[in-house]
Amino acid sequence: MKMFMIAAKDLKLRLKDKKALLMMIFMPILLTAILGSALKGVMGDSEMPKMILGVYAGDDGALAKTFINDVLSNELSDSLTIQQATSQNELQIWIEKEQVEVGIIIPSKWEESFTNDTSSPVLILPVAGKDLDAAFVQQITESFAQTAQTITLSTKEIMTDLAVAAAANGSLFQPEMVQKDLLENMNKVFQIQQDVVQDLPVGEKDVSSMQYYAAAMAAMFLLFNAMHGGKSFHQERNTNTLARLMMTQASSRSILLGKFLGTLFFAFFQFLIFMAATHFVLGVSWGTNLLQMIFIAFIYSFAVSGLSMVVAAFTSSEKMADTLGGIGVQIFALLGGSMLPISVFPSLMRNIAMITPNSWALTSFTNIMSGTTWVSLVAPAITLAMFGIVSIIVGTMRLRQKAV
């Protein structure tokens, strides 16, 4: 009972601190709203860019026609409005008057650029401030050009091999017929719309940017409890509160566990308030299985509370706990995906992220939002529990050695 009384006292003090409440509850809500709205493109839930594309082709070559009519006009009709110019000067005037967002100039005999390095490249001319639109057009153009180049070189190699084989066998070789058959078959492949790669969420639903950053901010700001828990320990030692507690019948173990439980209860309470606020204020959906979310949130709060014991044990003052704890939270937040999605990290950074408890919590939160199963939560739950248990053991041993 003594440790629960100590925990209740710590929780009451934290709830009375208006500055701490502002920092721990309202700040993550504000950041969630800002990041969730501003970084939609990173999460892939923004719409395709809609733009007017000015096009000038130097000739009526088959490759240029295929690119303009089949790729730009048909496949990308929902994103692009094609406006063909009769000359380069006309296209330049459109760009200067901002009648189009991006201009593209296709050179004469574009096909020869795949076998002749001296030929002119395709030119992409953006209107000022439309660099992202230009990058989108460039990506589409390069993708088409690389495919066309592969087909051209492959066809040339096949024709050469067939000609050599026909000469060796003394048979009749008709290059026009072979080339015609190859082009017809390749054209059929181009026209077949197949989704050979499909991006599927872990669960049944996709996670929006607002959902992701709600989970990311929850994971990051709960980490601050590790710093505040360590500071609280030093504050009570400096004010002789710990000394007075030691003079009571409460053992050192009860005192330490009480401090741990106080941080645990506040972190869990903070998450519940944040989850409710983001749902009703920002419309964030935390998934259909709230029991899963509450379970992971409690286990994560347990891990964070254990880290508070480590911060208290390996710092010698309140200022040191504040400084090192703040730096640690920022490093963990960066590595754990609270700033940018872990999916955009290189493979090495994704592996390093696995040593941070917030990355396990964040991944679990987003998986629950998409509709995952209980089985998939076993590994992160065990990992977070181990973070907490190891931290409690190490922190408690160290603090008892320091004779609180």
Chain CA centroid to CA 265, Å: 30
pLDDT at residue number 46: 47
pLDDT at residue number 115: 62
63 with 173, same domain: the answer is yes
pLDDT at residue number 195: 47
Decide which of 191, 222, 252 is a domain's last residue. 191
37 with 68, same domain: the answer is no
The backbone region for 285, taken as left when phi is positive above 0, alpha when psi lies in -120 to 50, beta otherwise, is: beta
Q: Which amino acid is at 191?
A: Q
pLDDT at residue number 362: 93
73 with 28, same domain: the answer is no
pLDDT at residue number 193: 47
What CA–CA distance (Å, rounded) separates 273 from 28? 11
78 with 223, same domain: the answer is no
- Does 152 fall in a domain? yes
235 with 367, same domain: the answer is yes
Decide which of 191, 217, 243 is a domain's last residue. 191
57 with 22, same domain: the answer is no
Residue 54 β-bridge partners? 83, 103
- Does 202 fall in a domain? no
Residue 87: give its domain's CATH number. Answer: 3.40.190
Closest by Cα among 345, 45, 373, 377 to 213: 45
DSSP 3-state helix, strand, coil percentages of the chain (rounded to 5)? 70, 5, 25
Closest by Cα among 371, 181, 170 to 288: 371
- Does 143 fall in a domain? yes
CB 225 within 8 A of CB 305: yes
The structural domain count of the chain equals: 2
121 with 95, same domain: the answer is yes
Closest by Cα among 138, 123, 137 to 92: 123
CB 21 within 8 A of CB 225: no
**Runs of H (alpha helix) within 24-130:** 27-38, 40-43, 62-65, 88-96
239 with 341, same domain: the answer is yes
- Burial, 71: exposed, middle or buried (Cβ in 10 Å; 0-12, 13-18, 19+)? middle
Closest by Cα among 149, 155, 144 to 69: 144
- Does 125 fall in a domain? yes
pLDDT at residue number 301: 94
- Does 360 fall in a domain? yes
pLDDT at residue number 240: 67
29 with 83, same domain: the answer is no
pLDDT at residue number 69: 82
To the nearest 10°, report the CA torsion of 241, 245, 247, 249.
170
Decide which of 158, 191, 224 is a domain's last residue. 191
338 with 376, same domain: the answer is yes
pLDDT at residue number 358: 92
- Does 126 fall in a domain? yes
Under DSSP, is residue 372 helix (H, G, I), strand (E, B) or coil?
coil
- Does 384 fall in a domain? yes
**Domain extent for 275:** 2-42+208-401
Nearest 5°: the CA angle 243, 246, 248 is: 120
Closest by Cα among 8, 2, 7, 1 to 259: 7
- Does 247 fall in a domain? yes
What is the C-alpha radius of gyration for the chain, rounded to an integer number of angstroms?
A: 31
What CA–CA distance (Å, rounded) separates 135 from 346? 22
Name the token pair of 239.
């004010």
Tokens 């209980």 sit on residue: 374
10 with 79, same domain: the answer is no
pLDDT tens digit at each of 404 positions of the chain = 666 676 777 777 777 777 766 667 777 888 888 777 666 655 555 444 578 888 998 887 777 887 888 778 776 666 788 888 888 899 889 988 888 888 999 888 776 666 665 556 788 888 887 777 788 888 888 887 777 777 767 777 777 776 777 677 766 666 666 656 665 665 565 555 444 444 444 555 677 888 888 998 999 888 888 887 777 777 777 776 666 666 666 566 677 777 888 888 888 988 999 999 899 988 899 988 999 999 999 999 999 998 988 888 888 888 888 888 788 888 888 888 887 777 777 778 888 888 899 999 999 999 999 888 899 999 999 999 999 999 988 888 887 666 44
62 with 122, same domain: the answer is yes
